[in-house]
A and B are shown apart, each in its own frame.
Chain A
Amino acid sequence: MRYELQVNAQTQVVDVPPGTSLTSVLRDDLGLTATRLGCGHGSCGACYVLLDGAAVASCTMPVDEAVGHRIVTVEGLAQDGHLHPVQEAFLKEDAMQCGACTSGMLISAVALLDDNPHPEPEEIRDALSGHLCRCGVYGRIVKAVEEAAK
């Protein structure tokens, strides 16, 4: 079936079976592989995207429900060659090791700071609590979000 999506400020048309997950459409049909597939059940956070500015799991969202909403993936965070402040802060704090969780973390951090520009560390932990990091860089990620809020 044909779907028209707004992804990273561009109109994209895909032809996929109804019910195909937004993660699959982004990764397999649009080549936007920064959005990662970690569990398929919305319980690890690797696949988060911005949907009208809110961070949501794309693996449990059928493409049908994404139509008519503004979708932003990690590929859409940098603007005109300039990294988003959250991306800059992740670099500065080296808030990553293997990087598998990084995309999802960036997305939720961007959504948090749009909503709450100067969060407390506890608010950062709460906002990112849906994201798992197996390398254990949680402390650096909290610091990076604080840094981005400066």
Chain B
Amino acid sequence: MSRGAPRGWGERPPEHLEDRIVIRLDGEVIARSGKVEYGQGIRTGFRRIVAHELRLPEEAVRVELGETDVVPWDMGTFGSQSTATDGHTLRIAAAYAFQLLRERAARRLGAAVSDLVADQGSFRAPDGRTASYGELAAEAPLEGTLPASSDVTLAPGPDFAPDADRVEARALVLGEARYPHDVRLPDMLRGHVLPPPRTGAHLLSLDDAAAKAIPGVVAIVRQGDFVGVVAERREQALQAIQSLEATWSAPDGNPEPPLEAHLRSDPGVEAALAQGELRHAATYRTPHIAHASILPSAAVADVRRDGADLYVATQRPFGLRDEAAAILALDPKDVHVHPQHMSGMYGGGGWGSAAIDAVRLSQAAGRPVLVEWTRAEEFQRSAQRPWLEARIEGAIRSDGNIAAYRSEVRTNPHIYGSGRVPPEVAGMTSGRNAVPPYALGAMDVALTVEQAPIQTSAFRSLAAAPNVFASESFLDELAALKGEDPLALRLRHAADPRLRRVLEAVGDLAHWAERPKGDGHGFGLAATIYHGTYCAEVAEVFVSQSGKVRLGRVFAAVDAGRLVHPDGARSQIEGGIVQAMSWTLFEETKVSDGRITTRGWRDYPIATFQDAPEAIEVRFVGDEDTPSTGIGEPGSVPIAAAIANAVCAATGARVRELPLRPARIQKAMAKG
């Protein structure tokens, strides 16, 4: 099915009930979405949304995600958009289905719609007769273009249960959850690829004599610059790859020209900067970092002459389907993508990776092939988060208000493989959250996107986390110029009442007014509005003489509107904080001479049990009648600035480059 050709950015295809909700004769309800689950809990959230509108227990609803043969086309699962967009569509679809079923029940039972009571999958008339959803759905197909949300009656309430009841949880603790690595097909081989040492290098020669002699090796595959091995066992394929002798050309020198975009250009910035009482400029830098999924990428492809099945973990099932179809010269409808459980990819799962290796090897071998990358490959073949530099300048008037804010952001593409995107797309991705959500007088924000020597891609919140590290650090620096409290400065410049509310709430939660300062102990604040979700965070740090940072408590106040799965939302905010404190304190991909040299966890430490904050307190302050907004990314956005601001409060050291390594902090402390 998969109605609808791929659309451009921001366009949304018309939605049809029959693509979204199917009710079987036995009463089973199937809800469908092109989004995928990777631990963020959308399957549970969607199930709750649909069950609520249909007045059903949650268990009566089964959610199908990302199966390209049955779900409607979708661009991909990113940007914390699933609940806000597809959750909304499913809510309308379920409410519309309920409305149609109720009209049918009224006719069948000879009762007024308003007299019917919906209970456990049936309508009951005042005379006691009932009609089940299954039999009503069987009368005629439940179909049609979805009405506008204003044209359907939504179920009242609810206060969704706060408890944890994720659909996948039981399969995960039993070890039954199947990741691509766990798929076993008859006659399946194990495959491995020899990647070029640098992007764009060409294969000059290949000696495969030693590799061929390894027991279990079935074939060496060479197609142009693509080299791979298929073998009976994983170890044999790996050993064969290591036995290949290949020589490669230097990479094609084909740098894309930089792309420039202006995200904000108020008149009079130069004059406002010149007239300010105090003027300040600073430059902030964040390095390449790796998604560092716990399980390296893996995929199974079963390519046949007339079609292919892909068992994969991807954030873009339809993008992968089309990419594989192009390689195989198949009609996309003959490529069937089956999303499996996914080891978190946090934005790195948007491109083909191991799946494309598997497609090529399976095509060559004529048998199903499982490809599992090694840990070193996962670091070295994955696209990285772009490097980012923001040079910010601002001025304060004598009344303490900020008169001007000018920022020049330089970074790399945040969409994998997109050398050229329209400037507005660059602004939405690489420029994300570069314009602070405050009234800062005359504002000017410019963006330059240039290719990096390595591949770069989306990572949780795209450029928002680096941009907010820069802008929220800078606001603290401005506050310090006038000796003003950082929370007071933000509240005074926050025009948006929802932003004010999360700032006030986090101040309350953290007892901001009574916070200790200095002697290596400090609190720092930062806030953001991310795709409609408001998030303010306070970090408590302890900094040793040597500059080592230990996190105490972290506080977050979040307004994401209506919460469908409160415990899941809390878990996403907590996880976002822990992952982003890891980026902030520890992480940097090592790149040398155009190659990633990071190989494993020893040279890419991430936060451990010992590094995680002592406690995380999350308070949700949104209203039930405000539409749901995303929750997967916002928690990760302000924490870097909150920590850097806390380090400054604790030690007087302002560090403007991540990660906040002890040596960097000690150097800044010595400078005073």
**Is the CB–CB distance between B294 and A38 below 8 Å?**
yes
Q: In terms of DSSP, what is the predominant structure of the interface of chain A?
A: loop
Complexed CA–CA distance, A74 and B442 (Å):
59
**Is the CB–CB distance between B574 and A139 below 8 Å?**
yes
CB distance from A38 to the nearest CB of B (A): 5
**Is the CB–CB distance between A39 and B601 below 8 Å?**
yes
**Is the CB–CB distance between A43 and B173 below 8 Å?**
no
Complexed CA–CA distance, A38 and B600 (Å):
10
**Is the CB–CB distance between B612 and A40 below 8 Å?**
no
**Is the CB–CB distance between B173 and A100 below 8 Å?**
no
CB distance from A45 to the nearest CB of B (A): 9
Complex contacts, B181 vs chain A, CB 8 Å: 27, 33, 36-37
12 CB contacts below 8 A, A to B, read A24-B235, A41-B601, A43-B600, A73-B175, A87-B174, A90-B173, A91-B164, A96-B169, A97-B40, A134-B343, A134-B579, A141-B609
Given A36-B181, A139-B616, are A96 and B39 neighbors across the interface (CB < 8 Å)?
yes
- Asked if B421 is an interface residue, CB under 8 A from chain A, the answer is no
Report which A residues bind B (CB closer than 8 A).
Answer: 17, 20-21, 24, 27-28, 31-41, 43-44, 46, 73-75, 78, 83, 87, 90-94, 96-103, 106, 124-126, 128-129, 131-142
Digitize B7-43: 1 where CB-to-A-CB distance is under 8 Å, 0 elsewhere: 0000000000000000000000000000000111100
Given A37-B372, A46-B295, A131-B609, are A136 and B579 neighbors across the interface (CB < 8 Å)?
yes
Complexed CA–CA distance, A94 and B567 (Å):
8
Complexed CA–CA distance, A134 and B184 (Å):
26
CB distance from B380 to the nearest CB of A (A): 14
**Given A33-B178, A136-B575, 18 additional A-B pairs, CB 8 A:** A17-B235, A24-B233, A33-B179, A34-B175, A36-B179, A39-B600, A75-B174, A91-B173, A98-B38, A98-B294, A98-B344, A106-B173, A125-B609, A126-B609, A129-B609, A129-B610, A134-B579, A136-B578
CB distance from A118 to the nearest CB of B (A): 18
**Is the CB–CB distance between A138 and B578 below 8 Å?**
yes
Q: B342's closest neighbor in chain A, by CB? A: A98
CB distance from B84 to the nearest CB of A (A): 19
Which of A38, A91, A129, A139 contacts B295, CB < 8 Å? A38
Given A37-B372, A125-B609, are A46 and B574 neighbors across the interface (CB < 8 Å)?
no
Complexed CA–CA distance, A24 and B370 (Å):
14
Q: B614's closest neighbor in chain A, by CB? A: A139
Q: A84's closest neighbor in chain B, by CB? A: B173
Complex contacts, A92 vs chain B, CB 8 Å: 164
Complex contacts, A91 vs chain B, CB 8 Å: 164, 169-170, 173
- Asked if B366 is an interface residue, CB under 8 A from chain A, the answer is no
Given A46-B294, A98-B38, are A31 and B341 neighbors across the interface (CB < 8 Å)?
no
Complexed CA–CA distance, A120 and B576 (Å):
26
Complex contacts, A78 vs chain B, CB 8 Å: 174
Complex contacts, A34 vs chain B, CB 8 Å: 174-176
- Asked if B651 is an interface residue, CB under 8 A from chain A, the answer is no
Which of A103, A132, A135 contacts B575, CB < 8 Å? A135
CB distance from B344 to the nearest CB of A (A): 4
Q: B292's closest neighbor in chain A, by CB? A: A134
**Is the CB–CB distance between B571 and A132 below 8 Å?**
no
Digitize B24-64: 1 where CB-to-A-CB distance is under 8 Å, 0 elsewhere: 00000000000000111100000000000000000000000
Complex contacts, B166 vs chain A, CB 8 Å: 94
Complex contacts, B577 vs chain A, CB 8 Å: 136
CB distance from B48 to the nearest CB of A (A): 14
Q: A103's closest neighbor in chain B, by CB? A: B175
**Is the CB–CB distance between A137 and B173 below 8 Å?**
no
Complexed CA–CA distance, A142 and B616 (Å):
13
CB distance from A56 to the nearest CB of B (A): 17
**Is the CB–CB distance between A135 and B235 below 8 Å?**
no
Complexed CA–CA distance, A61 and B607 (Å):
26
CB distance from A125 to the nearest CB of B (A): 4
- Asked if B293 is an interface residue, CB under 8 A from chain A, the answer is yes
Complex contacts, A46 vs chain B, CB 8 Å: 294-295
- Asked if B401 is an interface residue, CB under 8 A from chain A, the answer is no
Name which of A106, A136, A141 has the most chain B CB atoms within 10 A of its CB: A136
Q: B298's closest neighbor in chain A, by CB? A: A37
- Asked if B254 is an interface residue, CB under 8 A from chain A, the answer is no
Which of A87, A97, A129 contacts B571, CB < 8 Å? A97
**Is the CB–CB distance between B174 and A94 below 8 Å?**
no
Complex contacts, A28 vs chain B, CB 8 Å: 233-234
- Asked if B522 is an interface residue, CB under 8 A from chain A, the answer is no
Name which of A37, A101, A106 has the most chain B CB atoms within 10 A of its CB: A37
Complex contacts, A93 vs chain B, CB 8 Å: 164
Which of A33, A39, A98, A133 contacts B175, CB < 8 Å? A33
CB distance from B551 to the nearest CB of A (A): 11
CB distance from B397 to the nearest CB of A (A): 41
CB distance from A111 to the nearest CB of B (A): 15
CB distance from B111 to the nearest CB of A (A): 42
Q: A75's closest neighbor in chain B, by CB? A: B175
CB distance from B313 to the nearest CB of A (A): 9
- Asked if B296 is an interface residue, CB under 8 A from chain A, the answer is yes
Complexed CA–CA distance, A107 and B568 (Å):
24
- Asked if B177 is an interface residue, CB under 8 A from chain A, the answer is yes
**Is the CB–CB distance between A102 and B173 below 8 Å?**
yes
CB distance from B233 to the nearest CB of A (A): 7
Complexed CA–CA distance, A128 and B295 (Å):
18
Q: B182's closest neighbor in chain A, by CB? A: A33
- Asked if B168 is an interface residue, CB under 8 A from chain A, the answer is yes
Complexed CA–CA distance, A40 and B602 (Å):
13
Complexed CA–CA distance, A73 and B174 (Å):
10
CB distance from B294 to the nearest CB of A (A): 4
Complex contacts, B616 vs chain A, CB 8 Å: 139
Q: B177's closest neighbor in chain A, by CB? A: A99
**Is the CB–CB distance between A100 and B343 below 8 Å?**
yes
CB distance from A47 to the nearest CB of B (A): 10
Name which of A17, A33, A94, A140 has the most chain B CB atoms within 10 A of its CB: A94
